[in-house]
Structure 1
Amino acid sequence: MSLLEVDQIRGGYGDVDILNGVEMRVEQGEIVAIIGPNGAGKSTVMKAVFGLVKVREGRITYREKEIANLRPDQIVRQGLCYVPQEKNVFPTLTVEENLEMGAFIRNDDFSKDLEKVYELFPALYEKRRQAAGALSGGQRQMVAMGRALMLDPGLILLDEPTAGLAPAIVDLIFENIKKVNGLGVSILMVEQNAKQALKMSHRGYVLTTGRNRHHDTGENLLNNREVAEMFLGG
């Protein structure tokens, strides 16, 4: 069984289905990218997995347990974290307080995990006493990923982790994602920088109008003429 399996899900907001039979999976240790045009349902898939969007049909399993329509707090306790595109830090709390919030369901000593986050993101150690709201966009993204790591998760969902960031910072965030994956954490991400995302991903999914359009390895999708012309700018 895959770590995460999304099987023919339909759902959306109110009475409108944004997802129309989406399928995808994430294996242990993988980076998997979801790309596609605006309105394709990419972020909606992530929210459906994390219990933020109602699933009307289909199944979502994580570590072979059904999680569709569980509350987000129940899903977090399964070892799955979600990092949204916006408002992903507590701006008035310090960097360290933000990271500690990631361990809110833990009853054990998480000091070693805090050290691990600081080793992974040295810039956060330097800023640990500063309010997270005063950080740059790239640094806030590091805080959000670091906070997710404090749970010691098996899978992190990243929704547009490089949105609005300068090109140099985009490269840094992708490097950080690879570092997180190097710790053994699987990654499922929605990303607007499709070429870069596919280059670093084991596999990728292309969605259009809430449906699967293509699924292949990241390399094969990069070399797919239709994908290149329609979704990668030629």
Structure 2
Amino acid sequence: MSLLNAEGLYAGYGGVDILRNTHLHVGADEIVVIVGPNGAGKSTAMKAVFGLVPIRTGRVTYRGDDITNHPPEQMVGRGIAYVPQEANVFPSLSVVENLELGAYVLRGPNAPRMEKVFEIFPRLKERRHQQAGVMSGGERQMVAMGRALMVEPSLLMLDEPTAGLSPRLIDETFERIKGINQLGIGVLMVEQNARQALAAADRGYVLATGENRYEDTGPGLLANPEVAEMFLGG
């Protein structure tokens, strides 16, 4: 079942296209990873899909509906959650307050949604009254993902979720992402830790200079000698 389709995207900043005929597809229940060198347009692609970067030409559909250039609040209301790489928690607020803000577009009690988040991230339940700003980098990433899950999304978009984390926390974060996906939530992820990300992915895209260079299953891209030499460090 198709969840998200982006076709022929030209998008960028100040009239300059960073993306050039970029395409992406996420099926329901898939983990899809975007990798590539710095400046390839990976984060721009994510932001364009979510309505944070204007799309000049091209089309984005979600569950068959055209959502091209819709504002982010409409994306959230449709069940799309986005976790940016930076500034992804409110540091002066507690864990619980951060999670409650994640569900601001929804009606009904937050407690059942919060309990589901605590089941995925038990450490957040232990630290639920702690300010997010004094937590470790890995814990803050849990808060950011937990807040996104409060909208009960069908699609979770993650921009560099392991940035700045230790190797142990990187492994743990990928395990959490796979666990979230097993709940029936599609995942679209941009990652610099390309080998681990592709090992966890159903499919992957390699972008370079805003264009699609390679597309395959995660294992297929890992086994591709050209991809390994050019984008995975040999």
TM range (shorter): over 0.9
Indicate yes or no: 2:35 matched with 1:35. Answer: yes
Alpha-carbon distance between aligned partners in 2 of 1:83 and 1:168, rounded to the nearest angstrom? 21
Indicate yes or no: 2:99 matched with 1:95. Answer: no
Alpha-carbon distance between aligned partners in 2 of 1:202 and 1:49, rounded to the nearest angstrom? 20
Indicate yes or no: 2:119 matched with 1:119. Answer: yes
Alpha-carbon distance between aligned partners in 2 of 1:90 and 1:138, rounded to the nearest angstrom? 15
Q: Give 1:40 deviation, angstroms.
A: 0.4
Instruction: Give the percent of matched residue pairs that are identical in Structure 1 and Structure 2.
Output: 60
Deviation per CA, 1:55-93, whole angstroms, max 9, x where unpaired?
000000111111111111111111101100001001111
Report the AA paired with residue 29 of structure 1. Answer: D
Q: In the alignment, what sits opposite 1:131?
A: 131
Matches within 5 A, 1:153-232: 153-232=153-232
Note the residue ranges of structure 2 that are not aligned, 5 or more in a row.
none
Alpha-carbon distance between aligned partners in 2 of 1:107 and 1:122, rounded to the nearest angstrom? 25
Aligned length: 234
Q: Give 1:110 deviation, angstroms.
A: 2.8
Alpha-carbon distance between aligned partners in 1 of 2:190 and 2:28, rounded to the nearest angstrom? 18
Alpha-carbon distance between aligned partners in 2 of 1:210 and 1:2, rounded to the nearest angstrom? 23
Task: Please state whether the residue corresponding to 1:7 is helix, strand or coil.
Answer: strand
Report the AA paired with residue 220 of structure 1. Answer: G
Alpha-carbon distance between aligned partners in 1 of 2:108 and 2:7, rounded to the nearest angstrom? 35
Report the AA paired with residue 33 of structure 1. Answer: V
Matches within 5 A, 1:2-41: 2-41=2-41
Larger deviation, residues 3-12 vs 66-75: 66-75
Dislocated runs of 4+, deviation >2 Å:
none
Report the AA paired with residue 55 of structure 1. Answer: I
Report the AA paired with residue 138 of structure 2. Answer: G
Task: Please state whether the residue corresponding to 2:57 is helix, strand or coil.
Answer: strand
Task: Please state whether the residue corresponding to 1:59 is helix, strand or coil.
Answer: strand
Alpha-carbon distance between aligned partners in 1 of 2:58 and 2:117, rounded to the nearest angstrom? 36
Indicate yes or no: 2:38 matched with 1:53. Answer: no
- TM-score, normalized by length of structure 2? 0.99
- TM-score, normalized by length of structure 1? 0.99
Q: Give 1:109 deviation, angstroms.
A: 2.1
